[in-house]
Amino acid sequence: MSTQNTTRPDLNAVLAGFGGQGILFMGKAIAYAGLLDGREVSWLPSYGPEMRGGTANCSVCISDEQICSPLVTAPDALVVMNQPSFEKFVDTVKPGGVVVVESSIISAKVTRDDVTVHYVPATTLAEEHGLKGLANIILMGKLLAATGFATRETMADTIAKIVPAKKAHLIPRNIEAVELGFKY
Amino acid sequence: MAIVFQKPASLTDAPLHYCPGCTHGIIHRLVAEAIDGLDAQGSTVGVAPVGCAVFAYNYFNTDMIEAPHGRAPAVATGVKRVCPQNLVFTYQGDGDLAAIGTAETVHAASRGENITIIFVNNAIYGMTGGQMAPTSLPGQVTQTSPYGRDVKTAGHPIRVCEMLATLSGTAYAERVAVDSVPNIRKAGKAIRKAFELQKQGAGFTIVEVLSTCPTNWGLNPVESLEWVRTDMMPYYPLGVYKDITAGEGTK
Amino acid sequence: MRVLMKGNEALAEAAVRAGCRHFFGYPITPQTELAAYMAKRLPKIDGVFLQAESEIAAINMVLGAAAAGARVMTSSSSPGISLKTEGISYIAGSDLPALIINVQRGGPGLGGIQPSQADYWQATKAPGHGDLHILVFAPNSVQEMVDTVQNAFDLADEYRMPAMILADGMLGQMMEPVTLPDEGEIQLPQKPWATNGHGGNRPRNIANSLYIEAAELEHLVRERFARYAEIEQKHVQVEQIGVDDADFVVVAYGATARVCQAAVRAARAKGIKAGLLRPITLWPFPTQAIAEAANHVQAFLTVEMSMGQMVDDVRLAVNGKVPVAFYGRTGGIIPTPQEVLEQIEKIAEGGQA
């Protein structure tokens, strides 16, 4: 799974779900991992009324080159955490892309056969492992495994950096969540 | 030879442009005397309005800013927040302060902005030729209330001191007039007190001065002074509406 | 050190590091984070953050603080900027420096809250009533926004005029890595004209925009325009990517320029000799650079998040030498690289976009 070779793949991801599921935080974590790897990154959230109780989504790009458009309209990776986002974004994924589906919330299946789909019942997994509230991080772990946007070591460093100091005790649980998703 | 009377240092030598019988000149002098009295000429920044007093920046011998119409309290806020040690005042008419600039006035007061407003109320728009002002009296004939101000359609005149006295940020609000020598003396004291309170950091201070507009009232200067007494004062009673130092022995 | 920052917050921190200690503003989406950042940051460094009762009050507080000699700023978004235009005109007419940030959203009216570039005309042609210009900068990344802030403040001070950073909802909301300038002491220029109390040491200063004598006003405006002419000579900023050998040049600014850069790259990959000309200053406008390109390209394509505003200035610069096509999305829609590429292809095939 190591991606420590000379040509690291670009990531153009869309993450989407309900407000409150930690979509934007997941996006920041991915972008931060790219930053720690010394790469170019961008994070662009949806904003406005839709954030307040509705759907939230963000675009995240990681590249070794300058990022042109931070708005991802044809993602090579998609993480969806609710049904409306599933319906809205699955068809936008580039052929050959990766889709990570929160399958404890979304019962639908992807009918396309030109993308790789990973169904991860992240909310159920989180509850089973005493990681309530970390479904987003579990899904990020799966995305990490599926795309190799960073190394697991970088991801662990990222978690340590972006978890607020007041919640430092949550760092091990977040790393556990990444690993859980990575290996699922 | 002893000098018994002279122009305040805080006034320039520029001849005032005001109409005969207008009391702006008296009020300018009282403001300048108050600045001189506090030895504050060098630390004062004045803000002129849009209206008859728009050229006030030519008359006060201090640093001056000419503000957009109604915005003087906001401009003064900007100055004061940069230079809290300075004496900052605005000089505004009734249209500037109580119509187009009501929001700026009310919010400067509610913030307890440590500035002083000299509010010249003559119940009419003078500069533009005598239109109805927010403070024009019920029944008052003006260019834009030719049949007399009908409160049913044109609303009621605003009593500014009474309104601002309700706000917690207002430290001092007094209404005075310059229609007689005793009242001019009282007006001078009120302005001085407002400046002193600002120096002490007390908060927002306002002195409303009932003033004349012989030109647009269609009265001669003497009649105008009489009209202030007979018509304006009953609607706008003179007095102190707020004084946070009142309980402390200073009257 | 590179840190990940939101555009709005990066603008605020850059302003602090450029020596700005006074901020007056009013809440509006999508610039909110900028004011919120200042509300947190400025009180800790003896600065002033004041949430005004209105956009109008905020810009007039800026006027007062600028007159008093402070390095001062405000920020807003399109409908709020409309309210500020009165104050901007007075600030320009009183020869005062200030920084205004417009994180544009869709209009007219209340419009929308998604990114837009529909305030180009307002910023460059009529940022207030009267004969005037303001400096207008259009950065295209969080880093360039940071780098623009100090320059905007400095030029505003040098020429005693308002400066505007014309951003948009995308640049304001997105996060990118930035390297911030050092947090050192900033040496601000002397402002002998400031109305901050003469102290008996100098003649009194007056900040004023009223000139009743027509001849006096004309003289003053002409003097101001002589300064504008100097700025047009010395301070145009433009980025050109692959313009030298290009047959087709896309002209775009701000966030749209990034989309276009992807499209131009894709066009080159398909064998179309496309280039990108990106105005970084919108006023002064890079007329010269466009006129020079017009000597060797076959056609221009202007792309904006509007129905076509900057395209007017591009056509004036091209002056009829070659066709200038336009492609725009509006209302808060961001054009995609694919859409722009299709337009480039259409032009390359000889058709008009």
Tell me the helices (H) and strands (E) count for chain C, helix number first.
12, 15
Predicted confidence at residue A53, as pLDDT, reads: 60
The domain tally of chain B equals 1
**Is the dihedral angle over the CA atoms A129, A130, A135, A140 positive or is it negative?**
negative
Tokens of C294: 């017009």
Under an 8 A CB cutoff, do C66 and B68 touch?
Answer: no
pLDDT, tens only, A48-68 = 755 556 789 999 999 999 999
Residues C141 and C289 in one domain: no
Q: How far is C60 from chain B (nearest CA, A)?
A: 5
* Partner residue facing C337 (CB), from A40, A49, A69: A69
Predicted confidence at residue A52, as pLDDT, reads: 56
CATH code of the domain containing A24: 3.40.920.10
CATH code of the domain containing C14: 3.40.50.970
> Residue A97 and residue B80: Cα distance in Å, rounded?
59
Chains that touch C (3 or more CB pairs under 8 A): A, B
Q: Do the domain assignments include residue C353?
A: no
pLDDT, tens only, A159-184 = 999 998 899 999 999 999 999 999 99
Could you tell me the residue range of the domain that residue A131 belongs to?
A: 11-183
Residues C174 and C251 in one domain: no
Considering only CA atoms, which of C7, C9, C101, C23 is closest in space to residue C61?
C23
Give chain A as a 3 state SS string: CCCCCCCCCCEEEEEEEECCCCHHHHHHHHHHHHHHCCCEEEEEECCCHHHCCCEEEEEEEEECCCCCCCCCCCCCEEEECCHHHHHHHHHHCCCCCEEEEECCCCCCCCCCCCCEEEEECHHHHHHHCCCCCCHHHHHHHHHHHHHCCCCHHHHHHHHHHHCCHHHHHHHHHHHHHHHHHHHC
Predicted confidence at residue B14, as pLDDT, reads: 97
Q: Do the domain assignments include residue C35?
A: yes
Predicted confidence at residue A8, as pLDDT, reads: 85
Give B71-104 as a 3 state SS string: CHHHHHHHHHHHCCCCEEEEEEEHHHHHHHCHHH
Residues C215 and C264 in one domain: no
Q: Do the domain assignments include residue C164?
A: yes
- Yes or no: say if B92 and C82 are a contact pair by the CB < 8 Å rule: no
CATH code of the domain containing C266: 3.40.50.920
Q: Considering chain B, what is the average pLDDT of its residues? A: 96
> Residue C97 and residue C111: Cα distance in Å, rounded?
30
Q: Do the domain assignments include residue A52?
A: yes
DSSP C103-155: EEB--STT--SSB--TTHHHHHT-SSSSS---EEE---SHHHHHHHHHHHHHH
Q: Do the domain assignments include residue A6?
A: no
The domain tally of chain C equals 2
Predicted confidence at residue A2, as pLDDT, reads: 41
Q: How many angstroms separate the first and last alpha carbons of chain A?
A: 14
Could you tell me the residue range of the domain that residue B135 belongs to?
A: 24-246
Under an 8 A CB cutoff, do C177 and A45 touch?
Answer: no
Considering C218, C234, C250, which residue would you say is the last residue of a domain? C234
pLDDT, tens only, B168-188 = 999 999 999 999 999 999 999
Q: What is the mean pLDDT of residues A14-30?
A: 95
Q: How many angstroms separate the first and last alpha carbons of chain C?
A: 44
Residues C42 and C163 in one domain: yes
Q: Do the domain assignments include residue B202?
A: yes
Predicted confidence at residue A3, as pLDDT, reads: 44
Chains that touch A (3 or more CB pairs under 8 A): C
Predicted confidence at residue B251, as pLDDT, reads: 38
DSSP B21-41: T-THHHHHHHHHHHHHHTT-G
> Residue C67 and residue B208: Cα distance in Å, rounded?
26
pLDDT, tens only, A39-48 = 999 999 988 7
Q: Do the domain assignments include residue B211?
A: yes
Q: Do the domain assignments include residue B251?
A: no
Q: Sorting pLDDT into bands at 50, 70 and 90, what band is B1?
A: confident
Q: Is C52 on the interface with B (CB under 8 A)?
A: yes
Q: How many CB pairs under 8 A join A and C?
A: 62
Ranking A3-12, B120-129, B162-171, B239-248 by mean pLDDT, the lowest is A3-12
Q: Which residue of chain C is at minimal alpha-carbon distance from A42?
A: C176
pLDDT, tens only, B196-205 = 999 999 999 9
The domain tally of chain A equals 1
> Residue C135 and residue B152: Cα distance in Å, rounded?
49
Asked if residue B84 has a cis previous peptide bond (ω within 30° of 0), the answer is no
Judged against a pLDDT cut of 90, whether residue A131 lies above it is answered with: yes
Residues C253 and C344 in one domain: yes
pLDDT, tens only, A81-130 = 999 999 999 999 999 999 999 999 999 999 999 999 999 999 999 999 99
pLDDT, tens only, C39-63 = 999 999 999 999 999 999 999 999 9
Residues C95 and C186 in one domain: yes
Q: Is A28 on the interface with C (CB under 8 A)?
A: yes
> Residue B231 and residue C66: Cα distance in Å, rounded?
42
Q: Do the domain assignments include residue C69?
A: yes
Q: Do the domain assignments include residue B30?
A: yes
Low-confidence ranges of chain C (pLDDT < 50): none
Under an 8 A CB cutoff, do C114 and A48 touch?
Answer: yes
Q: Sorting pLDDT into bands at 50, 70 and 90, what band is B250?
A: very low
Verify A-C touch: 3 or more CB pairs within 8 A. Answer: yes
Predicted confidence at residue A19, as pLDDT, reads: 86
Residues C55 and C42 in one domain: yes
> Residue C84 and residue B247: Cα distance in Å, rounded?
42
Q: How many CB atoms lie within 10 A of CB C352?
A: 11
Residues C57 and C173 in one domain: yes
Could you tell me the residue range of the domain that residue C338 belongs to?
A: 239-348
Q: How far is C53 from chain B (nearest CA, A)?
A: 7
Predicted confidence at residue A1, as pLDDT, reads: 39
